[in-house]
Amino acid sequence: MYYIGIDLGGTNIAVGIVDENGTLIHKDSCPTKRERPYQDIIKDMADITLKVIGDKGIDLKDIKSIGIGSPGTPNSSEGILVYSCNLNFDNTPIRDELQKYIDLPVYLENDANCAALAESVAGAAKDVSDSITITLGTGIGGGIVINNKVYSGFNFAGSEIGHMVIVSDGVQCTCGRKGCWEAYASATAIIRQTKEAALKNPDSKINELVGGDLNKVDAKTAFDAARLGDKVGEQVVKQYIKYIAEGLSNSINAFMPAAVIIGGGVCKEGEYLLKPLREMVYSDIYCRGNVPKPEIRVAQMGNDAGIIGAAMLGK
Amino acid sequence: MYYIGIDLGGTNIAVGIVDENGTLIHKDSCPTKRERPYQDIIKDMADITLKVIGDKGIDLKDIKSIGIGSPGTPNSSEGILVYSCNLNFDNTPIRDELQKYIDLPVYLENDANCAALAESVAGAAKDVSDSITITLGTGIGGGIVINNKVYSGFNFAGSEIGHMVIVSDGVQCTCGRKGCWEAYASATAIIRQTKEAALKNPDSKINELVGGDLNKVDAKTAFDAARLGDKVGEQVVKQYIKYIAEGLSNSINAFMPAAVIIGGGVCKEGEYLLKPLREMVYSDIYCRGNVPKPEIRVAQMGNDAGIIGAAMLGK
């Protein structure tokens, strides 16, 4: 049997065929054009689904289900997107609308939860039944898998661990709270922290690396400066890793998953990031005596995690 | 059928018979005298168990199981207490030792998790399947129930939500971290905060209420002063409730339980505490649009929660 996974994003709709091992067989996509009525967008989802099936010569009866990962908060039992961050999809009956075109079971889940499920089924957490997947990107996406299933609470809105205050009355977060983990440990956050440090320290390597144009600072700049021995860069990186560790330790103390999976571009920093991160987390978490500690691993599923995790909702 | 619940504390061992509805039928206790060898302490647990059964004329074959709640971290599947905070019980095979005296299934769980299970089976969360129970006492105890079962992670050490940093680099916590929720929102914390405010503001009602002796400050003093219109007391209470709200919102964003149950002496403050607390939490949590919000309720099980929850481990 095969499974269809749909990654419904603010920019693109990506659709893939996934086998029962979580391997992506074939995919296609189209622009979301999110200003359109939801009926038109869901019609496109159906059209691309039928196209990818046709491309591979697979019969519809060999497809077990369609899973959809979307931003925001779904009502997964009713197949309704209750709240969507950046689509005009609030209170939208996605499942019913899609089933007008394709008569298959349709599952709906938050996209960060789908990424976590992908790591659990086929990625860095496939050997354990309980894991947390954290993606350090524009924000911090969190997904929780317990007993090999997505855990999202009574209202399907849980696992928002990026929106956990780690600095009371701290930096304003996009969610309305002040001091969220996301405001300190996302890629957006290290860019802000790098710029602030460069402004205060005009002689730092950071300024040199961007040719004096702080608009060119990205999430790598402070790491690059630190690797060149720049004290300001080292300080930014050290503090940034400490912020990651604090939210990670908080999440671990709450959930104690067998593995914590970290994704996002910053993982390319490899052991330069992971070694101090593990040291901080392992010294902080509440695992005393001989109590085993969760493993900290890098995500493996890459950009297709959303499609694969969505597909695996039906497994 | 009946269930035995044992609350193994640093001071007392309390043993009770509980029916399948979570009602405590009869109990007895003895001092732990924790400096003794574990074999002696467990012998006492067995003796009191047999005594409470005998007192009520119940036959051993009508007892389904024995559950034990203890401080620290158990290995619940092997019945071993791996780490104990304040007992000499590290790596102690409690189940095997107790079964030398009584041939019944024995379950072992952390005491805060037992309190949460008690609320779930027979208390403030009995109408929902997913709940978090927080006890604001000397520290902050956290217990998590998912699908009517205790959730404690792959190593049985989870739900330590009191040890979640809410103030990066903040006040030293007993766990080794700095800035834990427990260090800001426990009863111990409000006593410290009240004393600090009174020292800075010698004219406050707080000083008057304790006759100038700050050693007499307790977790109620700031609330009492605030109710008398004292600005310093009001400020302490306002900030304290904000700290409670921050950790509560963090926990809710992660778990999204149907109900959050709050226990501890501070709950006696009633709506004076709960009204602003609910307002802060409901404005902070990530429940957008029509997404339903968890309920915030006061614990109902009182001092016997540990016994009752331990007993219900076998249900």
Residue B29: beta bridge partners?
B14
SS3 label, residue B275: helix
The reply to whether residue A250 touches residue B165, judged by beta carbons under 8 angstroms, is yes
How is the beta sheet containing B2-8 ordered, strand by strand? B24-31, B12-19, B2-8, B63-70, B106-110
Which of A83, A155, A286 lies at the smallest CB-CB distance from B160? A286
Q: What is the pLDDT of residue B91?
A: 94
Residues of A in contact with B129 (CB under 8 A): 154
Q: What is the pLDDT of residue A3?
A: 98
Return the DSSP state at A23. Answer: -
pLDDT (tens digit, 0 to 9) for every residue of chain B, 315 residues total? 999 999 999 899 999 999 999 999 999 999 999 999 999 999 999 999 999 999 999 999 999 999 999 999 999 999 999 998 778 889 999 999 999 999 999 999 999 999 999 999 999 999 999 999 999 999 999 999 999 999 999 999 999 999 999 999 999 999 999 999 999 999 999 999 999 999 999 999 999 999 999 999 999 999 999 999 999 999 999 999 999 999 999 999 999 999 999 999 999 999 999 999 999 999 999 999 899 999 999 999 999 999 999 999 999
Whether B32 and B12 have beta carbons less than 8 Å apart is answered as yes
pLDDT-derived band at A87, boundaries 50, 70, 90: confident
The reply to whether residue B151 touches residue A146, judged by beta carbons under 8 angstroms, is yes
Secondary structure (H, E, C), B207-262: HHHCCCCHHHCCCCHHHHHHHCCCHHHHHHHHHHHHHHHHHHHHHHHHHCCCEEEE
Using the Cβ of B165 and the Cβ atoms of chain A, whether some distance falls under 8 Å is answered with yes
Whether A67 and A112 have beta carbons less than 8 Å apart is answered as no
Q: Which residues of B, range 254-273, sit inside 8 Å of A by Cβ?
A: 254-258
> Mean pLDDT across the stretch A16-35?
96
Cα A45 from chain centre: 21
The reply to whether residue B83 touches residue A283, judged by beta carbons under 8 angstroms, is no
Residues of B in contact with A166 (CB under 8 A): 165-166, 168
Residues of A in contact with B261 (CB under 8 A): none
Fold (topology level) of B131-299 = Nucleotidyltransferase; domain 5 (3.30.420)
CA dihedral over B107, B260, A140, A147, signed as positive or negative = positive
In terms of CA atoms, which chain A residue is nearest residue B240? Answer: A168
Radius of gyration of chain B, Cα coordinates, nearest whole angstrom: 21
Predicted complex ipTM: 0.96
CA dihedral over B18, B21, B25, B28, signed as positive or negative = positive
Q: Which residues of A, range 18-77, sit inside 8 Å of B by Cβ?
A: 72-73
Give chain A's length. 315
Q: Which of A76-80, A248-252, B86-90, B261-265 has the lowest mean pLDDT?
A: B86-90
pTM for the structure as a whole: 0.96
Q: What is the pLDDT of residue A73?
A: 95
Superfamily per CATH, domain B2-123+304-312: ATPase, nucleotide binding domain (3.30.420.40)
* Integer Cα distance of B48 and A185 in angstroms: 52
Residue B83: beta bridge partners?
B73
CATH 3.30.420.40 segments of chain B: 2-123+304-312, 131-299
DSSP A251-272: HHHHH--SEEEEESGGGGGTHH
Kindly report, residue by residue over A217-232, the tens digit of the pLDDT: 999 999 999 999 999 9
CATH 3.30.420.40 segments of chain A: 2-123+304-312, 131-298
Q: What is the pLDDT of residue A88?
A: 83
Task: With a cut of 90, say whether residue A89 has pLDDT above it.
Answer: no
Which of A128, A156, A166 lies at the smallest CB-CB distance from B168? A166
Q: What is the pLDDT of residue A199?
A: 97
> Mean pLDDT across the stretch A58-64?
96
DSSP A31-92: E--TTS-HHHHHHHHHHHHHHHHHHTT--GGGEEEEEEEESSEEETTTTEEEE-SSSS-TTB
Residues of B in contact with A284 (CB under 8 A): 176-177
Q: Is B11 exposed, middle or buried, given 0-12, 13-18 or 19+ CB atoms closer than 10 A? A: exposed
CA distance A26 to chain B (A): 34
Whether A201 and B312 have beta carbons less than 8 Å apart is answered as no
Residues of A in contact with B146 (CB under 8 A): 146, 151
* Integer Cα distance of A52 and A56 in angstroms: 6
CB atoms within 10 A of CB A23: 13
SS3 label, residue B297: strand
The reply to whether residue A286 touches residue B130, judged by beta carbons under 8 angstroms, is no
Using the Cβ of A83 and the Cβ atoms of chain B, whether some distance falls under 8 Å is answered with yes
Whether B254 and A164 have beta carbons less than 8 Å apart is answered as yes
> Mean pLDDT across the stretch A137-164?
96
CB atoms within 10 A of CB A62: 10
> Mean pLDDT across the stretch A176-204?
97
Q: What is the pLDDT of residue B88?
A: 83
Choose from A128, A134, A164 for mutation: most chain B CBs within 10 A.
Answer: A164
Using the Cβ of A147 and the Cβ atoms of chain B, whether some distance falls under 8 Å is answered with no
Residues of A in contact with B168 (CB under 8 A): 166-167, 170, 184, 242-243, 246
Using the Cβ of B141 and the Cβ atoms of chain A, whether some distance falls under 8 Å is answered with no
CA triplet A188, A252, A117: central angle to 5 degrees?
75
Q: What is the pLDDT of residue B168?
A: 97
Reading the block at residue A272, the tokens are 């330069």
> Mean pLDDT across the stretch A152-180?
97
Task: With a cut of 80, say whether residue A85 has pLDDT above it.
Answer: no
Q: What are phi and psi of A108, to 5 degrees?
A: -130, 135
Specify the CATH number of the domain A131-298: 3.30.420.40
Radius of gyration of chain A, Cα coordinates, nearest whole angstrom: 21
Helix (H) or strand (E) holding B14: strand B12-19
Q: What is the pLDDT of residue A159?
A: 96
Using the Cβ of B246 and the Cβ atoms of chain A, whether some distance falls under 8 Å is answered with yes
Percentage above 70 pLDDT, chain A = 100
Closest to B114 (Cα-Cα) out of B82, B158, B157, B67 = B67
